[in-house]
Amino acid sequence: MGKAMTPAEGGEGTLRELARFFTRLGLTAFGGPAAHIAMMEQEAVRKRAWLTHEGFLDLLGACNLIPGPSSTQMAMSIGYQRAGVVGLVVGGFCFILPAVGLTLLIAWVYVHYGTLPQVQGLLYGVKPVVLAIVFHALWSLGKKAFRTRKLAALGLLALAASLVGLHPLLVLMGAGVFALTLQWLHEKRTMPAAGWAWMPFGMVAPAVSLGGLFLFFLKLGSVLFGSGYVLLAFLKADLVDRWHWLTQSQLLDAIAVGQVTPGPVFTTATFIGYVLKGWSGAMVATAGIFLPSFFFVAIVGRIVPRLRRSPSMASFLDGVNAGALALMASVTLALSRAALVDLWTALLGAACVVLLICYKPNPTWLVLGGGLVGFLNHGLAR
């Protein structure tokens, strides 16, 4: 593998180049984290030769070991590699801000016109498409996450725990600890008790407040492993089921916005913040969910080689990944009740699943197509 992350010194020209690259990527990177990372590899490795293939894989491995949105952290890591901490900030902000701006625009339209028949028609078609995209991500990631019988069984246990109402963070940490315990038993050795624990923080009062929004999304940005889609399980557990700040339909609308805009799926937080508390809510939710990643990327380079060589840590992360996929499955089942409301939406969702598996189109076109189908269907029904 390549060397550990070590920042290079970059001047103003390098920073401008980073800003142009990641701003353009933030405006055009549709299709989710896997597509974002593929586009970064094409540009940063093949076209610009900023990194070797081995170095790029090292960065990708580092981002998979820390909580937060992996593709956003890749943008930060490439910036860090090119121009140190300043490059990290430039890469992260330029990748995030275009998506935030587009999400704010859509959120404003949603809040002011979301109850109009035309917009409802669009969402009628978009929701089953979003459900199909999440299902396809679950299908693809499951092949890797459940590569052994033990991990598959662990995934089923985590799914059952989620379905009976266990909090997503407990599901993730429990799956990781369980996998780590299996590793210890397999190797027939003991290990000193860890000197740390995941402590709850940011307990938010039932009433919606800016401080509560910030702490809630800061917690998510600090502990959320796995795909951005796992975010949905946390949002449903707290914002819908526990505090009733959102309805399930509003959550699905937020997910749809995250899919139809380029850049990080985590800008769903921007949309939710605006729906709950306007412009201020959007800002604090966005800051809360992305802020931890800036710190994690800045410090992780020095410890990643050691973690990667640790069989125990590798087993823990395997368990976390299995738990993350189980949460995705649980939230997919729950959201299907709000998205598949009749025969037409069921057929649309099934057709999108087939298209994604067989032909792998850009999900953005499916979302836009679903919106068009919903709009036309609603117009014909009038």
DSSP collapsed to 3 states, 312-329? HHHHHHHHHHHHHHHHHH
- What tokens does 256 get? 């749809």
Contacts 24+ apart (CB under 8 A), 13-18: 14/82, 14/83, 14/87, 15/83, 15/86, 15/87, 15/90, 18/78, 18/79, 18/82, 18/83, 18/87, 18/90, 18/91, 18/94
**Of 266, 294, 296, which is closest to residue 86 (Cα–Cα)?**
294
Q: Domain ranges in the chain?
A: 101-381
Q: In which band, very low, low, confident or very high, does the pLDDT at 191 lie, cut at 50, 70 and 90?
A: very low
**Of 63, 69, 85, which is closest to residue 304 (Cα–Cα)?**
63
Residue 345: exposed, middle, or buried by beta-carbon count in 10 A (0-12, 13-18, 19+)? buried
- What tokens does 35 get? 């597509």
φ, ψ for residue 251, nearest 5 deg: -60, -45
Cβ count within 10 A of residue 274: 26
306-352 pLDDT per residue, tens? 665 777 777 877 887 788 778 778 877 877 887 888 998 999 999 99
154-158, 187-191, 378-382: which is most confident: 154-158
254-302 pLDDT per residue, tens? 887 877 788 888 999 999 999 999 999 999 999 999 999 999 998 876 6
57-103 pLDDT per residue, tens? 777 767 766 888 888 999 999 999 898 889 999 999 999 999 999 99
Residue 172: per-residue pLDDT = 77
Give the CA radius of gyration of the chain: 21
307 with 141: CB under 8 angstroms? Answer: no
Say how far apart CA 235 and CA 151 lie, in whole Å: 25
Arithmetic mean of pLDDT, 12-23: 88
Residues 6+ apart with CB under 8 A from 140: none
Q: What is the pTM of this model?
A: 0.67
